[in-house]
Amino acid sequence: MKIDDVDFFYLSMPEVTTDADGSQDALVVRVVAGGRVGWGECEASPLVSIAAYVTPMSHGVCRPVRDSVLGETIDKPDDIRRIAAKVAYNSMDLLQAPHTWSGIEMALWDLLGKARGEPVYKLLGIERPARKTPYASRLFGNSPDETLAGARESRAAGFRAVKFGWGPFGTGPVQDDVDHLDAAREGLGEDGILLVDAGQIWIDDVEAAALRLPALERNRTVWLEEPFHAGALDAYAALGARTDKLKIAGGEAAHDVFMARHLIDFGKVGFIQIDCGRIGGIGPARQVAEYAAERGVTYVNHTFTTHLALSASLQPYADLASDTICEFPVTPRQLAIDLTTNHLKLDSNGELSLPEEPGLGIDVSPEALAKYRVDVEIKVNGKSLFKSPA
């Protein structure tokens, strides 16, 4: 099959706020090859990612992603890896290229799975996927009472694990954070699994982060996620060395396999969290999952948007029975809910199974593409390089 078309759909809620919520807009990718269609999603600024696909060439290794994709053959998994290598080389100086390629890469796996009548995990060589324990991924409340209510709500919905992140955490006095952590534990109950995401709030200030360790430990927090900037590897390692009761997590900001490996090897994280919409797609995420398993580091997906992205993010570690926990967005904006006509659901045990249908097993809603559409046209010297597809 030859890749005939790659289309980008920029979607957005009517109002986008400063909340740390990536489900307020979306960039959905449609790839057409051999009369078949595959769907993917980029986790990045939609307009900038579109621009990376069509931008005029600056020089030999700063070419638009389009030049490495259109017209290429896609008949087997190795073709996806070959195109990925071509994009990485031809667009090495185009920093948004990994995000743009991520959505295309997902769509190619989806398309290839549909062509072969197999779910993506089988194309990765996985015969029997393991069930995952999803954690409800939500923001800290504006007050401890809101955090308490959110924890109780998630437990009532069947989640045994809940991750609270961002919001006011780390922005005020230590006692404010202690109150939120105590509220989260109270709402979860004694047997609930508590996870915390600091959203890089302390940049590289190990001492500021360490002030929260006693409360995190007392509330039996499993991990503290992204306390520092993604590149502050020494800070990650230093904080991790100060506690043996919880582990440090990170990795969603990794734009390639090497960044993820560095966080494992030098940042000494106990959990590596990879976003297929940023790292270059499903293939690179699979490489990280295997690398982490060899080193005793637990792989976790990072997904805070749609169930199309959720399905893609579960494929790379579907066979890792010991790496059971997975992120599950529970309070996304309506756009993320409406985008797909079907959704992954928890079973009676509060566990999650991968779709068995061909490809990613998730269908995109044409009505949602129309409802949330943002009209975009990119012109250079009067020539249209991109126009939103119908």
Give 311-361 pLDDT, tens digit per residue.
Answer: 999 999 999 999 999 999 888 999 999 999 999 998 888 889 999 999 999
Which residues have C-beta within 8 Å of that of residue 297, sequence separation ≥ 6? 264, 269, 270, 271, 272
Instruction: Verify that 322 and 371 share a domain, yes or no.
Output: no
Domain extent, residue 376, equals 3-118+365-387
List the one residue out of 44, 56, 49 whose CA is nearest residue 6.
49
Instruction: Verify that 170 and 203 share a domain, yes or no.
Output: yes
Instruction: Verify that 18 and 72 share a domain, yes or no.
Output: yes
Q: Is residue 174 a part of any domain in this protein?
A: yes
Residues 98-128: tens digit of each pLDDT: 999 999 999 999 999 999 999 999 999 999 9
Instruction: Verify that 104 and 127 share a domain, yes or no.
Output: no
List the one residue out of 69, 57, 79, 63 whose CA is nearest residue 8.
69
Which residues have C-beta within 8 Å of that of residue 160, sequence separation ≥ 6? 133, 191, 192, 193, 350
State the burial class of residue 85 (Cβ atoms within 10 Å of its Cβ: 0-12, 13-18, 19+). exposed
Q: What is the pLDDT along the chain (390 residues), one digit of tens a residue?
A: 999 999 999 999 999 999 888 899 999 999 999 999 999 999 999 999 999 999 999 999 999 999 999 999 999 999 999 999 999 999 999 999 999 999 999 999 999 999 999 999 999 999 999 999 999 989 999 999 999 999 999 999 989 999 999 999 999 999 999 999 999 999 999 999 999 999 999 999 999 999 999 999 999 999 999 999 999 999 999 999 999 999 999 999 999 999 999 999 999 999 999 999 999 999 999 999 999 999 999 999 999 899 999 999 999 999 999 999 999 988 899 999 999 999 999 888 888 999 999 999 999 999 999 999 999 999 999 999 999 998
Distance CA 373, CA 144 (A): 37
List the one residue out of 137, 142, 186, 129 whose CA is nearest residue 157.
137
Instruction: Verify that 282 and 331 share a domain, yes or no.
Output: yes
Instruction: Verify that 249 and 224 share a domain, yes or no.
Output: yes
Instruction: Verify that 97 and 142 share a domain, yes or no.
Output: no
Is residue 93 a contact partner of residue 65, using CB atoms and an 8 Å limit?
no
Instruction: Verify that 166 and 293 share a domain, yes or no.
Output: yes
Q: Is residue 358 a part of any domain in this protein?
A: no
Is residue 140 a contact partner of residue 151, using CB atoms and an 8 Å limit?
no
For residue 286, what is the domain's CATH number? 3.20.20.120
Q: Is residue 349 a part of any domain in this protein?
A: no
Domain count, the chain: 2
For residue 98, what is the domain's CATH number? 3.30.390.10
**Half-sphere exposure in the Cβ direction for 241 (13 Å, CA):** 11
